[in-house]
Structure 1
């Protein structure tokens, strides 16, 4: 008869993602804080592995050094078109792909060339995952220190 016993001190198995970047770690695009006159913007990446309709973007907000732009000044750019956040609910045919950034901007005076603490919060419905409570909504938040640029880094290369 073979007897299977557990070791007295089981070996710890590391979680596969321990110490690795996960999708939500990319919520804020590095070096994307841009100051243009009195407006400030930051690029946001979808914290999901598949595209979702733009109508699934429930909310997105940002702060710089703890300061929030006035709600009425906030605009969100997706696929080259800038809109108010409340316009996204009707965009069921437009997709947000994991390879594309969403740019959120607002009236906020930020000093260019200096480092700032940027915080982004995103609420996103995942339409193909339905739970007993309804459609799954993920609520992601990330902070990152970055230097404010007066032009987008990709524009500076041109």
Structure 2
């Protein structure tokens, strides 16, 4: 299994009264601080959720994804997902099938590619899932 294949598991998407929760796993072989998450966008059946709409829950902390850079002491462990909270007034129902696309931009702080510039790994994953 590739690192990209593990980003979205079969049971990663849950319908909630206020939208969706999507468990997203890191596409890297080592744990990284949450602050390394530079961008996250998700679409479900072409309904796009951008970083300014998404909050993430990690280690019992709920924060807008645009503020993830502030979480220097919280870690995204390889075995644990972060949960993306996606607000919508019309989520699909549990049991329905959907195409989920996740785009991640993750800074790898120990791979330096230029003066004061770390590598940013960009990962795009698409998967058919059943809404939980």
Same fold (TM over 0.5): yes
* CA pair 136-72 structure 1, distance change in 2 beyond 3 A: closer
Structure 1 runs of 4+ with >6 Å offset: none
Q: Distance in 2 between matches of 1:46 and 1:120?
A: 11
**Number of residue pairs matched by the alignment:** 129
CA contact (8 A) 1:119 1:143 kept: yes
Give RMSD over aligned pairs: 1.5
Report the structure number with the largest CA radius of gyration.
1
Shift of 1:27: 1.1
Which structure shows the higher strand fraction? 2
CA contact (8 A) 1:29 1:42 kept: no
> Who is 1:91 aligned against?
71
Alignment of 1:27-46 (within 5 A): 27-46=7-26
> Who is 1:55 aligned against?
35
* CA pair 45-86 structure 1, distance change in 2 beyond 3 A: same
- The answer on 1:25 being equivalent to 2:5 is yes
Shift of 1:31: 1.1
> Who is 2:92 aligned against?
111
CA contact (8 A) 1:23 1:49 kept: yes
> Who is 2:122 aligned against?
139
> Aligned with 1:89: secondary structure?
helix
Which structure shows the higher helix fraction? 1
> Aligned with 1:86: secondary structure?
helix
* CA pair 55-61 structure 1, distance change in 2 beyond 3 A: same
Gaps of 5+ in 2: none
Shift of 1:86: 2.1
CA contact (8 A) 2:40 2:50 kept: no
Q: Distance in 1 between matches of 2:3 and 2:52?
A: 30
